[in-house]
Structure 1
Amino acid sequence: MSDDSLTVLTQSHNPVSFTTEGMKKRDGSYYKAGAGLHISEKDIRILKKLGQGASSIVHKGFYIRENKFVAVKKINVFERETRHQMLNDLKALCDAPNNVPGLVSFYGAYHVPESGQISIVLEYVDGGSLADVQAKVGKIPENVLSKMTAKMLRALAYLHREKHMVHRDIKPANILMTIGGEPKITDFGISAFIDSTLAQCNTFLGTVTYMSPERINNHQYSFPADIWSLGLALVEMSTGKYPYDASLGPLQLMILVLQEDVPLPPAGEFSEEFRDFVRLCLHKDPHRRPMADQLLEHAFIKKYANDPVSLKSFMQCAFNPHDKLDEIALVFAYNYYALLNAGTQRMKDLAPLYSKQSTLRYDGDAATGRDAIIAKLQGVAQMHAGFKVAHEVVDVQCQPLGFDGSALVNVTGQLVSPAAGNKPQPFTEVFVLSQIQAGEYYVANQCFRLIK
């Protein structure tokens, strides 16, 4: 470990170095640098905490260079087990190409010397986990579960068939949902990689509540262990409660799983197709559980393939208009100043933000209407270009105005220049964004002021 880097060994004793600029291989080159893994702390603006575990904290962040929201998982790596889990996470994420349907995408990882942590930058999934969704709706309807399960099975089939990987911790909390209705499997930290589809695992890791009988018995296990976990999760999400009595403690819970009949969704409340699907997933003999790609052909999946239910419509239960407004404000602010910093040739790209009624007050000067405002901003951009001055965003705050979707956006920042001896000059700028239609805004009022 040096001041700006941290090197850890994989199980095969290959060193992976985490620097302030990203992940490096043994030869000093960055992992997939062209694909975005050359990433550093200055590329990310941390917005808020999403959750916390025993050895990690997950924040929502904004990836400035890529103009997208991300999840930043900050991990303390001084414990051996934590390092092992993180490297499993990274192996799964690095090996899988981004934009695999059903899997969370990976953008990179970097070292933060001040805290000694490793930060892993992942795709931000805006609907929360299926555990969050279930907490809001109580029970997830069977037709909705069918469509979700089809997508989850395709992701599991990819992990099992293409990556030869057992996830080992499939549960509602590790299946994230986008507001658009796309499930994403996450948290690969305790996953196991096996050399072939015939190989077996021997370790006892994962969430006991979703652990398969063969794993509880400490027998060898493979991909069917994930199928068991999926089946148990489906029972919980359909009925609104975990099917075993977990209050008695982990030892008694394991006895229940081994000795009791498998829990099925109640007859009469659920279709026989669904009950049969769950019965196959929860077969106590792992050799009799179908593989993920075989389950895609099951009648439960086909029954609702053409059902008009929309996962996007269902996921509106997780929609938070205030979170969405914060996102709109942040994206607006960074894009606005990026265009302003680009110089006079980009001012035409700012024009659509204004109307004939828009007003601008710029440090005492006033302009009304799109043409007058763009002319004023042209002058500002030209003056700043001459002195190589740029706007740097420090903070963005947003609050709704009334019930028409309008918002007040308050930006604090500083004017910076590379010239020696020039101190950054702080500024504040307020925008009133008026909504034209859902997700579409224009700047109604704008006021810029230097802080002296």
Structure 2
Amino acid sequence: MSYNCNNHSSVLTQHIKKKFKKDSDQHQIINSRHLYRPIMNPSTLEPRRDLPLHKIPELLAKITGTFSSTSDIKQSALIDRHEQIFERYSNDHQSLSVNDILRFCYDLSIEPDSYEVLLFCFLCRAKQMYLLTKDEFLLGLKTLGNHFDSFIDIRTILMNYNILLYEKEFYLWTYHYGLIDEQRCLTTQNAISLWRLFYSKAIEKPQILDQWLNYLENNTMNEIPKTITCDTWKIFPQFAKFIQLNGYKSYDDTEAWPCLFDGFVEYLSKSKLKALKLKLFHIEPELKYQKQGERSILGDINHISRSSTSLNHYNCTTGVLRLSDTKSYKFSLNDLIDYGIIGEGSFGTVCKMKHEKSGTMMAVKYIRSTADEQCQKQMLVELDIVMRENTCPHIIQFYGALLEEGDCWICMELMNTSLDYFYKFVYHKLNQFIPENILAYITFSTLQALDYMKSRWKIIHRDVKPSNILVSRTAIKLCDFGISGKLIDSITKTRDAGYRPYLPPERIDPMRATGDGYDVRSDVWSFGITIYEISTGYFPFRQWKSVFDQLQQIVEGPPLKLTIDRLSDDCKDFVNTCLNKDENQRPKYKQLLEHPFVQKANNLQQKENAIAYLSDIIDDLEKNTDTFQLCYYLP
């Protein structure tokens, strides 16, 4: 038999072409552009000589269909890492018991009964409290994403996780998660704990929640059932919203509400003090502390129900109101006439009130009880001692405080508006800018207050921002010491205090901190952001969508610089000095007070000019009836 080489070559060539076409259709070798060189002559088939040896296994894997892409490899590595974390804590290699979960929480530096743990169990879709199966745990880690390399990363993601899109599902899951030993209904005590935990962080807390939980906890008439049904749990957010919008007096017990809500509304109606607190339901939550007078910064607030008489017939604890060195009064809530809410601070609500006996108008801050009564009494004693020694003209005056049913009421000097609203009104309503001599006066006044707190009381503020600097026709004053802390060796180790947009790099990323904690230079950064903001009319960073955006812009981004041409070199140098990312290069208060920009305001003529300017702007502000946007970020 004769053997025809040419025929064999032709058949082989056709076979190769068919094979190549079939593989292309199946997308197995679509990206293997060097698999075959073009066959110029169909009668010849040359072997490839340009394929590196290390590519041969990959080529064979593609031909056989066993090739794994880079994303597949990464995904496999991610799964292996998740399983390693699980195996680190699981004793039986199948689930995490109570003790296993406790060890996991310890490594994350979070409390086992915290909101973050509840959130993580939801992301795991856990079916049983105090137990996580392997599949549930791995699902939770997968849901968090692949952006963590350490336990600090996991903790950060949990603390900033946006759950709002799944709020309803999260809420209903929480009820079933709390069921133990095949219970059909939650015990009232467990329901109270889960309600409090669920609304403790990211989810907006209903304004009646505290009163509702007090009602369930007190149970003085033994009217509260021992269990909370699923229907009551599911309908509670709708009920809370109804009360917030319409007030408890609009509640109709003949409608299809659970009976427990009937008892709660009756409980509220019997307590006039609690009815006073429910005035929170009749005002928009965006209201900010702004100015003395009957009109809010967002327009008329006549819809707020104001008392025309004092709050009589309450069994109130008494306190001492010191209005001056020669005038002091014993007082209780009976002696205060309420004129409505004027703002919301970091830890409470601020009302405008009048002391009936003296006729003094005050800002009264109501703080919900968060500590035991003995601790609160000690706090008030220390606050009274410290504030009675206040001789600084740029710190808000403290008149007195009292405890009522475990809640704290702090009486303070009433100002016209906050610097936050003041500068936004000037820039975005009047279309003007704050003159540099006024910027210098604001800087000088606030620095004097911060330096007085540090040198006299050994306190740093820890929450310096425009909304905590108040403005009247005659003065600039610092307020809100709700999270101020006494220093030990001028250092504080509490890194979570303060408003995140104004935190310095060393508090956002503790690895940058050169010491064991942080000192007044942390406030210097926050103050630099504040002066930058009121100098330009904008917050100096674009709006952050996550904590990672903040980390990238403040910690890893270029240094922030004030460069506006209309400002002097002294002004720009002052702000840029405060915004030095190296805390060791940031000056402290004494040095800043000697800066040429600050010294411009340290004379009587400049003070008189500033007072005239403040008075004119406040006059315009009080005549204003229009509303405008209150949040301004870098365009």
Q: Which among 421, 427, 434 is matched to residue 132 of structure 1?
A: 421
Q: Which among 289, 296, 313 is matched to residue 612 of structure 2?
A: 313
| Partner in structure 2 of residue 260 of structure 1 | 557
| Partner in structure 2 of residue 194 of structure 1 | 487
Q: Which among 515, 520, 529 is matched to residue 223 of structure 1?
A: 520
The 5 Å alignment of 1:167-178 reads: 167-178=461-472
Shift of 1:74: 1.2
Q: Which among 68, 75, 100 is matched to residue 392 of structure 2?
A: 100
- The alignment status of 1:141 with 2:435, answered yes or no, reads yes
**Rounded Cα–Cα distance in structure 1 between residues aligned with 2:375 and 2:561:** 36
Shift of 1:87: 7.6
Cα RMSD over matched residues?
3.6
| Partner in structure 2 of residue 121 of structure 1 | 411
Alignment partner of 2:463: what SS? Answer: coil
| Alignment check: 8 A CA contact 1:109 1:119 kept | yes
The 5 Å alignment of 1:86-97 reads: 91-92=382-383, 94-96=385-387, 97=389
- The alignment status of 1:165 with 2:459, answered yes or no, reads yes
| Alignment check: 8 A CA contact 2:380 2:401 kept | no
For the structure 1 residues 148 and 37, does the alpha-carbon distance in structure 2 shift closer, same or farther, using more than 3 Å as the test? Answer: farther
Shift of 1:89: 8.4
Q: Look up the equivalent residue of 1:224 and give its one-letter code.
A: R
- The alignment status of 1:288 with 2:588, answered yes or no, reads no
The 5 Å alignment of 1:291-440 reads: 291-305=588-602, 308=606, 310-315=609-614, 316-319=616-619
Shift of 1:244: 0.8
| Alignment check: 8 A CA contact 2:492 2:518 kept | yes
| Partner in structure 1 of residue 209 of structure 2 | none
Shift of 1:90: 7.5
In percent, how many aligned pairs have the same letter? 28
**Rounded Cα–Cα distance in structure 2 between residues aligned with 1:258 and 1:233:** 18
- Cα deviation, 1:137-173, whole Å, max 9, x if unaligned, reads 0142221010111111111111111111111100000
**Rounded Cα–Cα distance in structure 2 between residues aligned with 1:169 and 1:83:** 26
For the structure 1 residues 214 and 48, does the alpha-carbon distance in structure 2 shift closer, same or farther, using more than 3 Å as the test? Answer: same
- Structure with the bigger percentage of strand: 1
**Rounded Cα–Cα distance in structure 2 between residues aligned with 1:300 and 1:175:** 19
Q: Look up the equivalent residue of 1:117 and give its one-letter code.
A: D
Alignment partner of 1:111: what SS? Answer: strand
| Alignment check: 8 A CA contact 1:109 1:118 kept | yes
Please report the TM-score for the alignment, with normalisation by the length of structure 1.
Answer: 0.58
For the structure 1 residues 100 and 43, does the alpha-carbon distance in structure 2 shift closer, same or farther, using more than 3 Å as the test? Answer: farther
| Alignment check: 8 A CA contact 2:316 2:334 kept | no
Instruction: Say which is worse superposed, 153-162 or 47-56, in terms of deviation.
Output: 47-56
**Rounded Cα–Cα distance in structure 1 between residues aligned with 2:325 and 2:422:** 36
Give the ranges of 4+ consecutive aligned residues of structure 1 lying more than 6 Å apart after TM superposition.
Answer: 32-35, 81-90, 320-323
**Rounded Cα–Cα distance in structure 2 between residues aligned with 1:192 and 1:39:** 28
For the structure 1 residues 55 and 302, does the alpha-carbon distance in structure 2 shift closer, same or farther, using more than 3 Å as the test? Answer: closer
| Partner in structure 1 of residue 543 of structure 2 | 246
Shift of 1:196: 3.3
**Rounded Cα–Cα distance in structure 2 between residues aligned with 1:196 and 1:156:** 17
| Partner in structure 2 of residue 213 of structure 1 | 505
For the structure 1 residues 132 and 33, does the alpha-carbon distance in structure 2 shift closer, same or farther, using more than 3 Å as the test? Answer: same
Structure 1 stretches lacking a partner, 5+ long: 4-17, 24-29, 324-452
- Cα deviation, 1:362-420, whole Å, max 9, x if unaligned, reads xxxxxxxxxxxxxxxxxxxxxxxxxxxxxxxxxxxxxxxxxxxxxxxxxxxxxxxxxxx
- The alignment status of 1:233 with 2:522, answered yes or no, reads no
For the structure 1 residues 80 and 298, does the alpha-carbon distance in structure 2 shift closer, same or farther, using more than 3 Å as the test? Answer: same
Structure 2 stretches lacking a partner, 5+ long: 1-213, 221-314, 428-432, 624-635
- Cα deviation, 1:319-359, whole Å, max 9, x if unaligned, reads 37979xxxxxxxxxxxxxxxxxxxxxxxxxxxxxxxxxxxx
For the structure 1 residues 238 and 150, does the alpha-carbon distance in structure 2 shift closer, same or farther, using more than 3 Å as the test? Answer: same
The 5 Å alignment of 1:261-276 reads: 261-276=558-573
| Alignment check: 8 A CA contact 1:209 1:246 kept | no
Shift of 1:67: 3.2
Shift of 1:206: 0.7
Q: Look up the equivalent residue of 1:174 and give its one-letter code.
A: N
Aligned residues: 297
**Rounded Cα–Cα distance in structure 2 between residues aligned with 1:251 and 1:55:** 26
Q: Look up the equivalent residue of 1:95 and give its one-letter code.
A: V
**Rounded Cα–Cα distance in structure 1 between residues aligned with 2:350 and 2:502:** 23
For the structure 1 residues 70 and 304, does the alpha-carbon distance in structure 2 shift closer, same or farther, using more than 3 Å as the test? Answer: closer
- Cα deviation, 1:97-145, whole Å, max 9, x if unaligned, reads 24521111111112334xx53211111112x110010121014222101
- Cα deviation, 1:264-303, whole Å, max 9, x if unaligned, reads 2224221110111012111112222222122111011123
- Structure with the bigger percentage of helix: 2
| Partner in structure 1 of residue 70 of structure 2 | none
Q: Look up the equivalent residue of 1:209 and give its one-letter code.
A: P
- The alignment status of 1:184 with 2:483, answered yes or no, reads no
**Rounded Cα–Cα distance in structure 1 between residues aligned with 2:463 and 2:344:** 17
Alignment partner of 2:331: what SS? Answer: coil
For the structure 1 residues 292 and 55, does the alpha-carbon distance in structure 2 shift closer, same or farther, using more than 3 Å as the test? Answer: closer
**Rounded Cα–Cα distance in structure 2 between residues aligned with 1:157 and 1:268:** 30
Q: Which among 8, 29, 46 is matched to residue 338 of structure 2?
A: 46
